[in-house]
Structure 1
Amino acid sequence: MQSADKVGDYVTRLRMLTSKMKRNGETIDDVSLMEKLLRSMSKKFRNVVVAIEESKDLT
């Protein structure tokens, strides 16, 4: 994620990529997708990531 990206735009781009991967036979579960999203967030959103991880509510 680039620092100028909006979270919504980034999530949309990530969903499009995972859809393409699934069409090509890749199996991606929601937990893996969420982990990728949280790991790749820019430092600007670090406090949001920590709050989500600490709550352990990844839904």
Structure 2
Amino acid sequence: MKETDTIKEFHSRVAETVNQIKATGDIMEERKIVEIILRSLSSKFEHIVAVIEETKDLANLPMSELMGSLLAHEQRMSRFTKPPLEQAFSSKVNMTENKYAKSE
């Protein structure tokens, strides 16, 4: 997973890859797919991966439930972070305000 990927984008790529593997006749257990997903997540999901590994029975965790947990976590995280462009504008406004405040 790339740092800029969303869980939905990552899930789409995983599902596509799994379908391609299954199309060749290979059997992939859901448990194995869940393990691969957890190992492939970007570092921003490190702490939620640790929580999932400690609290869930990975042998019986469906991929859909895992992705639901990851999506919910991503949505919670997005409430506390501003997009880079919004941060840049905010910084510029703050610098401009400080400039005018000092000249008064």
Structure number, greater radius of gyration: 2
Match of 2:50 in 1: 50
Matched residues, percent identical?
32
Match of 2:4 in 1: 4
How much has 1:11 moved relative to structure 2? 1.3
What residue ranges of structure 1 are gaps of 5+ in the alignment?
none
Aligned length: 59
Q: Which amino acid aligns with 2:51?
A: A
Pick 1 or 2: higher relative contact order, CA cutoff 8 A, min separation 6: 1
What residue ranges of structure 2 are gaps of 5+ in the alignment?
62-104
Q: So what's the TM-score if we normalise by structure 1?
A: 0.90
Q: How do 1:1-59 residues align onto structure 2 when only pairs under 5 Å count?
A: 1-58=1-58, 59=61
4+ long deviations beyond 6 Å: none
Question: 1:57 and 1:5 mapped to 2: Cα distance?
Answer: 26
- Once the two structures are superposed, residues 10-54 of structure 1 have per-residue CA deviations (whole angstroms, 9 ceiling, x without a partner) of 012101110011011111010000000000101011011011001
Q: So what's the TM-score if we normalise by structure 2?
A: 0.54
CA RMSD of aligned residues (A): 1.0
